[in-house]
Amino acid sequence: MRILELFLPLLLVTPASAGFYGKNTDVLNLDPKTFKDEIMNTNHTSIVEFYAEWCGHCRQLRPHYIKAASSLKGIAKVAAVRCDDSFTQPLCQHYNVKGYPTLKIFTPPKIAGSKPRVEDYQGQRTAKAIANTVIGHLRNHVKRLTDSEVIAWLEESTMPSVLLFTDKTAIPPMFKALAIDYSGTADFGYLKKGEKAIAKQYGITKYPAVVVLTKNNDGSTESHFYSGEHKKELLYDYISKYAMPTEGPKKGQFPENMNKPLGHEEL
């Protein structure tokens, strides 16, 4: 009877289960197919935990990992792969996982079509340490601008431009993530509070502030001032009115006011 009690937790967990992260957390539960879609084919930085259901250290990490996933939601991907499962074992072996939990950070390549850079996470296993390390690996597609550079930057751009006016000393991770969501379809720049000329030109009196700039057919520029809360999902939806996202829930959707490319039947 004692032997049955020891092995009962394992018998109750089937290889097809979602693991101990389930569906009610911000941690992505991945298998070989979804791993390719979510981790390999994305411009976002990711952290992946390779774990086993029976692992005590994995269970100790669980609440910290869930908290890290919550703080990184919309900024980076936090995922988990269960290795004590015949379906996912080859994936764990491919990444040379020899102990549990193993955490690996996947940083998108600088050259399109290349594989992401993979490195072992060596930091403390706390939510704050995990989140800070992942944020430090974010790709930056946001250009720091000064008053004297903005005009030339706007003239050179052939895409909608998104300007952030901020009183922060560094680029907010959320804004970096937005720039990744719209990589190749919109340009992102930011100005610190000390850059007063452009702020005055656009009537910026409160920080942070976001302005989307689009070009009309006659070459003139139109300004669109965001007035909502500075939350990732709300800004994402607002920018999607003027540019097509390349990541996220609206990936590949054309804005209503954007002219779609002509098809052969329209030429």
Q: What average pLDDT score do residues 163-179 get? A: 96
Domains of the chain: 8-135 (3.40.30.10), 142-239 (3.40.30.10)
Residue 206 has pLDDT above 60, yes or no: yes
26 within 8 A of 73, measured Cβ to Cβ: yes
How do beta strands 187-192 and 161-166 pair? parallel
**This model's pTM is above 0.85:** yes
- Give the chain's mean pLDDT: 89
Instruction: List the Cα angle 79/82/88 in 5-degree steps.
Output: 105
How confident is the model over 211-249, as pLDDT tens digits?
999 998 887 889 999 999 999 999 999 999 999 999 999
For the stretch 85-109, pLDDT in tens is: 899 999 999 999 999 999 999 999 9
Q: Assess whether pLDDT exceeds 90 at residue 193.
A: yes
- How far apart (Å, rounded) are the C-alpha atoms in residues 66 and 8? 26
Q: Is the pLDDT of residue 75 over 70?
A: yes
